[in-house]
Amino acid sequence: MWTKYALVLFALVGVAYCYPQGRVVNGTDTVIENFPFMVSLRGSTGSHSCGSSIIAPRWILTAAHCVYGAKASSISIQFASTELNANSANVAKVKRIIVHENYSSTDITNDVALLELSGQLVYNYKTIAPVTLPEQNFEIPQTTEGVPGVLAGWGRNYTGGPVQTILQEVALKIYSDEQCISLHNNETTVDNICGGVDEGWKGQCNGDSGGPLLYEGNIQLGIVSWSIKPCTTPPYPGVYTKVSHYVDWIKENCDSCV
């Protein structure tokens, strides 16, 4: 049975894995106008580290593992941008980091965090707009067919590959809880949601962490959390934090964010 410790080891030894020709991991080029809530989380050097999404003019939603142990002064976001650029003018500083109080870096549970910006973003609803959050405890139909979803981000094309500079999107299947838990040999919980394709080789990779799994266009059902390495290895779909189980927490921890 896979364990999360084994996944880390597999990630370390699998970087030379040869991918089948013609297969897609992180999808195709897209533009920020299709995902105006997408932002890039940046480290102190201005380089991309994780995906994130706008939920309010001064609030950003991301994964806890992206910011756990970090200082707010050391990170920023790039917004309203299709292309990553360390010298972009579309950069906002982070004032405060709120990591879920029950986040476990060992078990990778409650992998959700909020970033409060120093200032406010101004929506133009073309390149800057909020993502839509689901209702608390919303669930997709629990069928073997799952439902269609979309992942957007700047993550790597494959394990060990380069971070993309142009925003990517890929169409995925969102799996039922039963399928998600079964495919990952009970390593996930009902607080997770899975996204991928049955044949593999499409979905999240390093650099997509914290980004949104979308349903019906702009409803964020998932936050990229973890995956088996090499990225998108079948039959293991990517694992996301199930946003609908944390909407109340989001409301409790930021003012006027939903």
For 77, half-sphere exposure in the C-beta direction (CA atoms, 13 angstrom radius) is 34
Q: Catalytic pick from 65, 100, 184, 245?
A: 65
Q: Catalytic pick from 40, 111, 208, 225?
A: 111
State yes or no: is 65 an active-site residue. Answer: yes
The distance of Cα 254 from the centroid of its chain, to the nearest Å, equals: 20
State yes or no: is 76 an active-site residue. Answer: no
Burial 129-148 (b: 16+ CB within 10 A, else e): bbbebbeeeeebeeeeebbe
- Which stretches within the chain are classed as H helix? 4-13, 64-67, 177-183, 247-253
DSSP letter assigned to residue 110: S
Q: Which two tokens stand for residue 220?
A: 């964020």
The answer to whether residues 209 and 66 touch, using CB atoms and an 8 Å cutoff, is yes
Pairwise CA distance, residues 53 & 195, whole Å: 18
Q: Catalytic pick from 53, 209, 227, 244?
A: 209
State yes or no: is 248 an active-site residue. Answer: no
Active site residues: 65, 111, 209
